[in-house]
Structure 1
Amino acid sequence: MSSSWMRRDLTDYDLKLLKVFRTVVECGGFSAAETELGIGRSTISIHMNSLETRLGLRLCQRGRQGFSLTREGQAVFNAILTLTDAHDEFQHQLAQINQDLSGELILLAADQLDAPRQRNIAKAIGKITAEAPQLHIHFDLLPLQQIELALLKNQAHVALMPGYRRIDGLSYAPAFSTPIYLCCGAEHPLFARPDTELDDPLLAGFDAIHPGININPEGRKLLQRLNTTARAYQFDSRLSLILSGAYLGFLPDAIAAPYLASGELRYIRPDTYQYAFEQFYVRRNQPREPEKVELALTALLAASANESGKKGGM
C-alpha cells in the first residue's frame, strides 16, 4: 500500500471508493454491482481505477476470464471488513451509552408470508415499535443463502426461515409448523380423477416441482416418488406452475385455500402426500446488537405462542 495513503486520514472520497470496491467484490463483478450501486459499469471502472491509483496496488483482474481478486485485493477487502466492523461497533457503543434502542432493526424472511403469518408478525412489530419507538424497522424477503450470510455478518438481527439445514454460529427457535399438500391445477390431466385411482406409479408419470432446497426427511421421501422436472422455491412462483396444468407441486393450505374454494386447485391424496413445513426464528449466536435481537425475538416468539394458544382452544 502506498506510503502517502498510510500517512493521511481517510477522506469521504476514499470511503466512497472503498464502498464501491466492497460492493463489486460481494456482487462478484462490475456488471452485477451496477444495480446495487445505482451507477453504470464505466463509472464503476473509473472508481476502481482511482482506488488502485491512490493505493498504488492492483486489486483485481477483470476481463474475458471474469472477475477475480489479486492477493493485494483480498488483503484490502479484508481490511475494509475490519473497518466496517469497527464503525458498527462504535455506533453500537454510542447507542449503549445513550441507553436507547435506535437505528435499524433488520428482520428478514425466506418465504412468502401467508395471511396468518402476516398478522402474527404485524403484532410483533407493533409491540417492538411500542417498546422502542426510535427503531427503524427494515423487513424484507431474501433467498436462504443471503439470509444466512447476513446473520453471520451481523447485517441482520432476526430471520424467519426453514431450519432444514443448521449453520454453525446460528441458533434456531421454532416459530410455526403447518402441513403442506401436493396440489393439482384444474388444467392438469389428473384433476378430475379420484384419489383412489392415483397410485404412486401413476403420479410418478407426471412432471412435478422440486422446491430447490433440502427439505425435511418426510418431504424428501415424497419428492423421491415424483418426477421433479421443475424448480420453484417461492410459493407464488410455484403456484403459477401448478395452475398452468403442467406440474404437480406442494403448497401450504393458507396459500392454496382460495384456489381450492374457486375450483382452480385440488389436493392429491392429502392423507399421504403431505409433510410438515417448519419455520424458525433464527439469530446469530453472538450478535453485535444483542438488545435489538432480544427485543425482536421476544416479541416474535410471544406472538407465535399466542397464535398457537388460540388454535389449541378452538
Structure 2
Amino acid sequence: MRSLDGAKDQQGTVMATHTTKMLIIGSGPAGLSAAIYGARAGMQPIVVQGLQPGGQLTITTDVENYPGFRDVIQGPWLMQEMQAQAEHVGTRMLWDTIVSVDMSGSPFRAIGDGGDIYEGDTLVIATGAQAKWLGASGEQEFSGKGVSACATCDGFFYRGKKVVVIGGGNTAVEEALYLTNHSQDVTLIHRRDSLRAEKILQDRLFAHPNIKVLWNKAVERFVGEGGLTGVELKDTVTGETMVEPADGAFVAIGHAPATELFRGKLELDSSGYIIVEPGTPKTAIPGVFACGDVMDHTYRQAVTAAGTGCMAALDAERYLATKEFAARG
C-alpha cells in the first residue's frame, strides 16, 4: 500500500493516488469484515467509507440478534468496534465518496469526489442497500421509537403488541407472517385492492388467523407522543381518514441497492442488485467481488453481510495468489 502524488485538478491541486492489493468500497458489516480478513492475509486493504460510514447499523439503536452478545447492544457501537478491529489488524480507513469506477482491467480504479484516485489489485464492492421509506409525516421522528423497516431485526421488541405492516409485495407479506411469531394482532396496510406478492405467500397470509388486511389505505402520517401510538390512513377510494392504533409500524416497500456506480459495468438484476456466481461473492469480472446487501435481496442481515464479506476477502486472496503463481511461470 502506498500513496503517491497523482494528477492535478482544474485548480492545479495535486490529487493523491492510493494503491492497495484490496480496495473496498463501503464500510458496513460486509466491508469491514472483508477488511479484517484481508488485513490478516497481508493485503493491507483500503476501505473507502462513503456517505454513511458504518452502513445502516449506524442508524439502528438496539441490536439483539448479532451473535456473541447476550445483552442488547447499540448499532453504532458495534460498527465502531468492527472498524477499530479492522484498523488494529492493518486496514486503512479513508473518508471519501466514490463518484466513478474503472473496472476494465487490473488494477481497478476508483475516483473520489475530491479527485483522489484509489487503485486495487482486487476490488470488493460493499456499498449496501437502503430501505425505501414512505416520506410520510412522523416517519423519521418515530424511527426506532415504533417505526422500523426490518421486522426480522426489530419484531422481537413488539412481543404481545399490536403491529402494522405497510406494503403489498413479497417483502410486506413475509414481514407480516414473520411478525405473527411475536404478535397476535398484525395488520397489513396496502394502498391498492390487491397484493403484488406471490400467490403462495398471499394464500398463507389470508389463511392466518392473526393477520387482517386494510385495503385501499395510504399512510398520511405516523402519530404518537414520545413513541408511536397509531397510523393515520386515507382511503384511496373515498378520501376518508382514520387512525389505526399500533405500537409498531413496519415499512416494507422494498430496498434500493447502492449500485448506480456500477450500471453498465457489472451485471445487475431487475431490482438493481449485483449478480454474483451462486454461493460466492464473485462477479462476472475476475478480481471484482460483491458482498453484503448490495448483492443480497433475500436476507439483508448484519450477520449474513459479515459472512459474505469474509467470503469476498478469502476469494480475493485466492485470486491474487493464483494470479501471482501464474505470473511466475
Q: Answer whether TM exceeds 0.5 for this pair.
A: no
TM-score bracket, normalised by the shorter chain, equals: under 0.3
Greater strand share, 1 or 2?
Answer: 2
TM-score, with structure 2 as normaliser: 0.22
Which one has the largest radius of gyration? Answer: 1
TM-score, with structure 1 as normaliser: 0.23
